[in-house]
Amino acid sequence: MKVLVAYSSITGNTEKIGKTIAEAIPNSECVKLPTDKKAEDYDLVFCGFWCDKGVPDNNWKQFYESTGTVPVAVFGTLGGDPHNEGGMRFLQKVKNEIHKSSLLDLRLWQGKVDPKIIEIMTRMSGKPMTEERRLRLEEANKHPDSKDLREAAQWAFEIFKSRQA
């Protein structure tokens, strides 16, 4: 089975998850987006995005749209906790936007937020950094951690195994 892991990454969060997935899947190829690799040349694609202003980034969108009917498992990273209310809303929003019959699954992991983005957001909103927000960002900076990477590897391998049956 030919497997491609394609990811878009700015701060390295999605790259870490993508490379971990590739290590978990025997003989898979791993590439950063954009790429000249074609999804139709593979039996299974893992496709990763980073959250850009509340939506998957454009490099990812372009590649995902090109996957056609190839089975795709989508993963993403965001600064917020993917398990809290906001993270669950984001997950559902993305699911609704990217739904197609070839979509196998979608998983999110937390990742650090680019300090430049934090500065821009603070300036644009005119709101000072609150203690609560600072603590959330400190927590995000710890991710993806070893537990996240183990979960990503296990998630991907289970999908891979199920496609071999």
**Host H or E run for residue 104:** strand 103-110
| pLDDT tens, position by position, 55-76 | 899 999 999 999 999 999 999 9
CATH number of the structural domain spanning residue 39: 3.40.50.360
Could you list the residue range(s) of the whole structural domain that residue 104 is in? Answer: 3-164
DSSP-derived 3-state class of residue 142: coil
pLDDT above 70 (res 1): yes
- Helix or strand or coil: residue 20? helix
Contacts 24+ apart (CB under 8 A), 135-138: 136/80, 136/81, 137/79, 137/113
d(CA 81, CA 85): 9
**pLDDT (mean) for 82-92:** 91
Read off the pLDDT of residues 100-113 as tens digits, 9 standing for 90 and up: 999 999 999 999 88
Closest C-alpha to 68, from 105, 100, 29, 36: 100
Regarding predicted confidence, which is higher, 29 or 51? 29
Residue 132: pLDDT above 70?
yes
- Report the chain's C-alpha Rg in angstroms: 16
pLDDT (0 to 100) of residue 128: 74
Would you place residue 86 in the very low, low, confident or very high pLDDT band (cuts 50, 70, 90)? confident
Residue 47 CA to residue 39 CA, distance in Å, equals: 10
Domains identified in the chain, total number: 1
Cα separation, 43 vs 3, in Å, equals 6
Residue 118's pLDDT band (boundaries 50, 70, 90)?
low
Classify burial at 53, counting beta carbons within 10 Å of its beta carbon; exposed 0-12, middle 13-18, buried 19 or more. Answer: exposed
* pLDDT(121) > 80: no
Residue range 27-38: mean pLDDT, rounded:
97
- Taking residues 120-132, what's their average pLDDT? 72
